[in-house]
Structure 1
C-alpha cells in the first residue's frame, strides 16, 4: 500500500538537518591540521564542511596632495602613486590565486578523509566579519591557534582567534598544530552557562559515545553543596545520553588543575567555556581561556 503524501511529509519533517562545520583556512602551518580536525568532527557529527578563506589586504591611504615639490616633482609623485596602485592590484590578484589554491587543497584533504559534502568561499575583508556572516548556519567553527603572520616560537595566539570566539555564539574548535585521533576528552566544568552548553553539546552528539570522557570541576570549596549539585547535574546529563564519564571535583585553581589533568591523563581534546569575564577584567587579571589555549598542545573546543 502506497503511503500518503502527508505521511512522507511528516517523516521528512522529523529528519534532522545535516549539521554544518565552518572551517577557517589560511596559509599558516595549521592549515592541514585544521582540515584534519574538521574532517574528524564531520564524521562524528555527520556534518558537511564549508571552507572559508578571507583575503584581507589593507588599502594604503593616499599620500595626499600636499606640496612635495621641494623634494620630489609632482609628475614623479603621480607616477609613483600610480605604480603603488598597480602593485596593490597585483598583490590582490596574487592573494586571490593563493586563496583559491588553499581552498582546493583543503577540499582535497577533506575528500581523502572521507568528507564528500564540502563547499568553499573566498571572501575579501576582515576575518571576523566573514565568519559572523557565515556562522548563522554553522554548528561548529574550526580555526588554527595561530595565523600565518604569527611567529610560532613567540607563543602568541593569532590576532583573529579571540575576536572570532567573542563575536560568534557557536562552538569554536581551536586546532592543535598537528592532528591526532581523539580518544580521551576532558570537560573543564565551572558551573557557568557556557560549561553547561559544552556538556549538552556532547550529550546531544551520539558520535562521542565511544570516547573516554572525563569531567573535572576545579573549586576552592570542593565540599560545598552547590558545587556537588553542579557536578551531579553534569554527570546526570552525560549519563542520560549514554555517555560514560568519569566526573570529579578537584581542589585548586582552574588553570593549574586543568593543565595538570591534560598532561597526567593523556587528554586528546579539551572542552571548556570561553571568556566568561569582560575584556577590561581580563586585561587586569589575565584570561584563563587565553592561557589554556596558549599552553595546551591539544585541540580546545570552546563554548560561549
Structure 2
C-alpha cells in the first residue's frame, strides 16, 4: 500500500537528524509527516512530605516547558523541508505512553523509529507496543549510520509462511514493486504441506510476481547459527537496502523469555527494517 501519512515518534531530546530523515522520507513518498514529541512524566512521590510533592510538581512544570520548547523546535526544523506536516507534543505517564502513541498511529500508514528512540530501551518498547500491537501499524526501524529509503533497490523479505510475514509483504507491495530485486529469504525451510509447501517460497514468489515484483527465492541453511544472524549476513551479502519481516511470530512472552528473531533484529540491526504484524 502507499505510505501517504507517516508518523515519526521522538522524545524531547530527539535529534534533528531524526526529524530530517523523516522529512526526507516523506518528500520521497509524497507523504504527510506527523511528528509526535513524547515527554514521560516522573512517577508520583512516595511519602507524605510536602516538600517532596512540591519538588515533584515543579519537575512536571519544567518537563512541560521543555516539551513545548522541543515541539516548537521540531516545528521550526520540519518547516524548512517544505512538506505537509503537523507537530504534536504529549506529556504522559510512563504506563500510558504506548496507548497514546497507538492512538496516533491509527491514522498513519507507517511509523518511523529513528536512532534516538532505538537507543532508549524503555521508550523504544513503548513506541513498538503502541504501533505494532495497539494500532497494528507497520514500523520502520532506522539504525544509526544507515541510509533509509522508501525507494530501496534491493529488499530482503524474511519469509516463514506465517501470517505476520504475509502482512509485512502486503504492507510493502508498492515499495517492493519499485525495487530492482526482492529476495524472498527462508532459513532452514521445511518442505511440508500446510507450512511451506513442496517448494518453499514458491507460493509467495508467485504472489509477488503477479504484482510485477522481480523476485528471487533464497533458501539458506542456518548451520547452527541463529536465524537472525543468517538474515543479517544475507542482507549484507546481497547489499540489501531494507529488510521486510513479520514481527513476533511467537507470543511476546515466549520471545521475552527465550529470545527470538524479532527481539534480536530489534536490538542488533544495522540495516533499516520494515516490520508488520
Q: Same fold (TM over 0.5)?
A: yes
1:123-272 pair list within 5 angstroms: 123-125=90-92, 126-145=96-115, 147=117, 150=120, 158-164=124-130, 165-180=132-147, 181=149, 182-203=152-173, 205=174, 208-221=177-190, 223-224=191-192, 226-227=195-196, 228-229=198-199, 231-252=201-222, 254-272=227-245
1:1-150 pair list within 5 angstroms: 19-27=4-12, 32-33=17-18, 35-37=20-22, 39-40=24-25, 43-44=28-29, 46-61=30-45, 63-64=47-48, 78=50, 81-82=53-54, 84-108=56-80, 110-111=81-82, 116-125=83-92, 126-145=96-115, 147=117, 150=120
Summarize deviations over 1:135-165 as a string: whole Å, max 9, x none.
22211111125538739xxxx9834244233
Residues in 2 aligned to 1:282 and 1:273: alpha-carbon distance in whole angstroms: 14
2:44 is paired with a residue of what secondary structure? Answer: coil
How big is the shift at 1:279? 2.7
How big is the shift at 1:29? 6.3
CA distance 1:104–1:229, shift in 2 (3 Å): farther
TM-score using structure 1 length: 0.75
Aligned to 1:5: none
Contact 2:177 2:214 in 1 (8 A): no
Residues in 2 aligned to 1:157 and 1:297: alpha-carbon distance in whole angstroms: 19
- Bigger CA radius of gyration: 1
4+ runs deviating over 6 angstroms: none
Aligned to 1:73: none
TM-score using structure 2 length: 0.81
Structure 1: state its 5+ residue gaps. Answer: 1-15, 66-77
How big is the shift at 1:55? 1.9
Contact 2:8 2:111 in 1 (8 A): yes
2:213 is paired with a residue of what secondary structure? Answer: coil
Summarize deviations over 1:259-278 as a string: whole Å, max 9, x none.
12012222121110001212
How big is the shift at 1:17? 9.5
* Corresponding residue pairs, total: 265
Contact 1:25 1:103 in 2 (8 A): no
CA distance 1:250–1:28, shift in 2 (3 Å): farther
Contact 2:140 2:274 in 1 (8 A): yes
Output the aligned Cα RMSD.
Answer: 3.1
